[in-house]
Amino acid sequence: MKINMTISEKDPMYTGDIDIYKRIGISGLKCVQDAVSMIHKKDSDIKNILDFACGYGRVLRSLQAGYPDASITACDLMKDAIVFCANTFGAIPVKGNENLSLINLPKKYDVIWIGSLFTHLPIERWGVFLDFFSNNITQDGILVFTIHGRKALWMMKQYNLLPKEITANMFEIFKDNFFNSGYAFYDYTKQHKDALSKIDANHSKAFGLSFTRPDYVYKYLLKHNKFNLVSYAEGAWAHNHDVVSLRLNSREFLEISNKKQFVKIEEGSCPCCDSDTTFISEKSWLRDNYRCVKCNCIPRERGLSYVIEQILPNWKNLVIHESSPGNRGTSLKLQKNCKNYISSHYYPNSKEEYVDGYKNIDLHKQNFEDEVFDLVVTQDVFEHLPYPEKAIKEIARTLKKGGYFISTIPLVKKFNPTVKWAELVDGDVKFFYEPDYHGNPIDPKGSPVFWHYGYDIASRFIEWSGMETIIVNNIIPELGIEAEFLEIVVCRKL
């Protein structure tokens, strides 16, 4: 293995002993190769390597020698360093930034090596770096980074490597801290950072000496929950740093771990509670899980509120009937803000006009007068109606001329024809296919699904009710309107 030993005169890691300098580089390569073999890959599988915080290529030169066919990206805060790595080792230079979102990496990497960066970061900063690496690694890539553990603590004490301002007394406290809690951090003083900026990079954020115990790191990784642990080797890099190698969590790791995994978090404003908020989903099925943290609404409710606002901006002054409302989202918004809002559920076993404050209405056979409503709303109701033709006719009858029926209906068949999924036989549900039930706010057993609709529902509604019908499908991330099956069916009575 031939290693290019051209050394920059600016390299702060070079202390004059070329053998030590070279051994540390080779040791880094060995750590990467061990990690690669742990995930059952061959060195020839490695096409793209990122050396993050590469400096003047102490390890990068060995990576180049060990992976001669791979493309290596050199990323560092120091411009001179990446230029040197590009000119000397043919690496792709990428300027680092304390704000990671400003770093433009050209590809995803099979290997990401980070020698001695986490060793200087307080634990609060680990997450953003791990998130950043999770976005820039291939699905089966390997992240290898070094941290200070017990061995490094011993080395620092033994060889007097600690900053001079750390007195013996301070060190004892620091050490106790480390062994009691598993974590200790010393933030460099301003003077130290200023001195550092002359030979190394400029650090404006917390940057110092970070020490972590293996159990602490593992617990942290479980909580962070983007990676799984491939290996942890104490003192493995140059007989000093601990070396951690990680791989992105695959489905089985996510499913088995009971920690919360937010698969999606966005800032935005919520059309249901009309406030700035965060939308969060712990699951990949956004339709039922992507919630507004303020009002707990889900995407179809936000989509519906948005469409109502667009089509009928004066909805607060209108007469509205909602069938089968929920107790949040659009239903709550309409109920709170509209004086003439009537909500109904159907209680087939009751003869009462009102049950639990809801009007008892069978959508198929409504006892409302003709042409009384400006707007009728249903949410995920139509797939549960055995006779949608009757229901849409009834809705049209109760609407004033120019009135709207606006509904969310999961059009699961999309461009394929609607399929009748079940029918009622003597009051019992008979499924033609696999039984399908959805949650029902007033029935813990859930509601049977009678129809798997496609977009042809629009022509059926037109044919059955004579109402003008369109299907809208908005995807508006900043309003949290993003999920599967967000189509909204809008009918207008002519």
Q: CB 330 → Zn ion: shortest distance, Å?
A: 10
Q: Applying CB under 5 A, does 236 fall inside the site for Zn ion?
A: no
Q: Which CB, 72 or 479, lies closer to Zn ion? A: 479
Q: CB 343 → Zn ion: shortest distance, Å?
A: 19
E-strand ranges in 291-421 read 291-292, 319-323, 340-345, 354-355, 358-360, 373-379, 399-408, 419-420
Task: Return d(Cα 417, Cα 66) in angstroms, integer.
Answer: 58
Q: Which residues ranging from 260 to 279 are in contact with Zn ion (CB under 5 A)?
A: 270, 272-273
Token digits of residue 189: 């003083």
Q: CB 315 → Zn ion: shortest distance, Å?
A: 17
Q: Which CB, 377 or 449, lies closer to Zn ion? A: 377
Q: Which CB, 53 or 270, lies closer to Zn ion? A: 270
Q: CB 349 → Zn ion: shortest distance, Å?
A: 35
Q: Is 81 helix (H, G, I), strand (E, B) or coil?
A: helix
Q: Which CB, 297 or 381, lies closer to Zn ion? A: 297
DSSP structural state of residue 202: -
No. of helices (H) and no. of strands (E), the chain: 14, 26
Q: Applying CB under 5 A, does 295 fall inside the site for Zn ion?
A: yes
Q: Applying CB under 5 A, does 328 fall inside the site for Zn ion?
A: no
Can you spell out the DSSP letters for 325-354? --SSHHHHHHHHH-TEEEEEE--TT---SE
Task: Return d(Cα 318, Cα 375) in angstroms, integer.
Answer: 7
Number of residues located near Zn ion, criterion CB under 5 A = 7
Q: Applying CB under 5 A, does 294 fall inside the site for Zn ion?
A: yes
Q: Applying CB under 5 A, does 479 fall inside the site for Zn ion?
A: no
DSSP structural state of residue 133: H
Q: Applying CB under 5 A, does 304 fall inside the site for Zn ion?
A: no
Q: CB 314 → Zn ion: shortest distance, Å?
A: 22
Residue among 284, 184, 237 at smallest CA distance from 26: 237
Q: Which CB, 333 or 452, lies closer to Zn ion? A: 333
Task: Select from 119-127, 236-244, 284-292, 305-313 the region that touches Zn ion (CB under 5 A).
Answer: 284-292
Q: Which CB, 61 or 302, lies closer to Zn ion? A: 302
Q: CB 265 → Zn ion: shortest distance, Å?
A: 15
Task: Return d(Cα 157, Cα 160) in angstroms, integer.
Answer: 5
Residue pair 304/379 in contact by the 8 Å Cβ criterion: yes
Q: CB 323 → Zn ion: shortest distance, Å?
A: 22
Q: CB 229 → Zn ion: shortest distance, Å?
A: 37
Q: Which CB, 66 or 325, lies closer to Zn ion? A: 325
Task: Select from 3-11, 165-173, 218-226, 287-295 the region that touches Zn ion (CB under 5 A).
Answer: 287-295
Q: Which CB, 244 or 295, lies closer to Zn ion? A: 295
Q: Is 233 helix (H, G, I), strand (E, B) or coil?
A: strand
> Within 13 A of 269's CA, how many CA atoms are on the CB side?
5
Report helix angle 457-465 to 388-398, nearest 10.
60
* Binding residues for Zn ion (CB under 5 A): 270, 272-273, 292, 294-295, 297
